[in-house]
Amino acid sequence: MDYRKEALPKVTIKAMNRLFHLFGDSARWISLVSWSAIIVALATALAPLAFILVVSFSEYHALGGGDGLIAEWLDDRNVNAMGNSLAVGFGVAVLLTVISILAALCFRWCNLTGHSTIYMLSILPLTVPDYVFGVAGRVMFDPSVGLFAEWLPDSLLFDRTSALLMVVAITILKWLPLMIVIADAAIFALGSPIFYQTMVDFTRFRRAVGLVFLPQLGKATALIASLGFLIGFRQHELAYELTSSGAGFDAEMWSNRNYRVIFEFAGVARAAADGLLALGVLFVPIRLIHMATSWYLSNEE
């Protein structure tokens, strides 16, 4: 396809300019959320640990000192749950990044970059709770009673690997539209003059991708991958609904403790262990998100 023949329509240019300013405002909001996430992560990890230390040195020794904390860390259920969360986090990060970048490049090839419909539709899946996606995935893909059970292997959702892959796939269905918007906005930030110039300078879209669009997507890639990891890491509700009740994993395998009982002092030793371990895992992607959003802000100015 010789896309030099197609100039950007005026309506598209106006829509792109409006959306660029909208994304710029959103970038400031994302930057604020990133810093808030760092503060919350520190608080949720350190507060239970501080509570343990205070009680351990009190006259009651209610929680048994540091031995209980170490025991919780070494608990097989805790290790398995964290392993599941890490596997889903990395899987979602990699696949979301690759698919969203390919989709954004397809939109550029079709001259749809910055199209308002893409941005509006990306919001719709976010209005649906995680557990609803989990239930819907179970209805479709359960090998016993699912709508597609006739064509699915019996081990699906029962085998650890296939269950993790299904959790990754269902998670991506919800979050992919938003990540496509982030990648599309990164290309869109080049502006209509650059788009027109690439049409003039490059006869093949492949060369424009390698020399113009992929370098522009560099920072967006870090942002999408980081967000993807954070999203995948916390898919406990979706995973539980998709794989529970005899379809793969005991609820313990998804560690509801990772986030939900951080301040539930009846299990504060486990909460502190999970909180500290999760903080070490999450701090790097949170920092990458902040760096990427800072880059967007500097480009605006």
d(CA 107, CA 109): 5
Largest CA distance in the chain: 81
Q: Would you state the pLDDT for residue 172?
A: 92
Instruction: Kindly tell me the burial class for residue 77, based on how many C-beta atoms sit within 10 Å of its own C-beta (0-12, 13-18, 19 or more).
Output: middle
Residue ranges in the chain whose pLDDT is less than 70: 1-38, 40-78, 200, 244-283, 286, 289-301
Closest CA relative to residue 106, chosen from 254, 205, 219, 10: 205
- pTM equals 0.66
d(CA 77, CA 83): 10
Token digits of residue 46? 């350190």
Q: Would you state the pLDDT for residue 81?
A: 72
Q: Would you state the pLDDT for residue 162?
A: 81
Token digits of residue 197? 């110039």
Q: Would you state the pLDDT for residue 96?
A: 94
Q: Would you state the pLDDT for residue 100?
A: 93
Classify the C-alpha dihedral 252-257-259-261 as positive or negative: positive
Q: Report whether 225 contacts 94 (CB < 8 A).
A: yes
d(CA 175, CA 95): 11
CA atoms within 13 A of residue 99's CA, in its CB half-sphere: 15
Q: Would you state the pLDDT for residue 10?
A: 47
Closest CA relative to residue 105, chosen from 197, 213, 182, 228: 213
Closest CA relative to residue 230, chosen from 141, 290, 158, 297: 290
d(CA 234, CA 37): 13
Q: Would you state the pLDDT for residue 144?
A: 74
Q: Would you state the pLDDT for residue 95?
A: 95
Give first-to-last CA distance, the chain, whole Å: 35
Domains detected in the chain: 8-300 (1.10.3720.10)
Q: Would you state the pLDDT for residue 58?
A: 58
CA atoms within 13 A of residue 277's CA, in its CB half-sphere: 23
Q: Would you state the pLDDT for residue 8?
A: 39
**Could you give the C-alpha distances from 301 to 15, 118, 298, in angstroms and in order?**
20, 26, 5
Q: Would you state the pLDDT for residue 273?
A: 60
The CB density around residue 204, as the number of other CB atoms within 10 Å, is 11
d(CA 88, CA 247): 17
Q: Using CA atoms of 159, 160, 164, 167 in order, give the dihedral in degrees to the nearest 10.
A: 50
Strands (DSSP E) contained in the chain are none
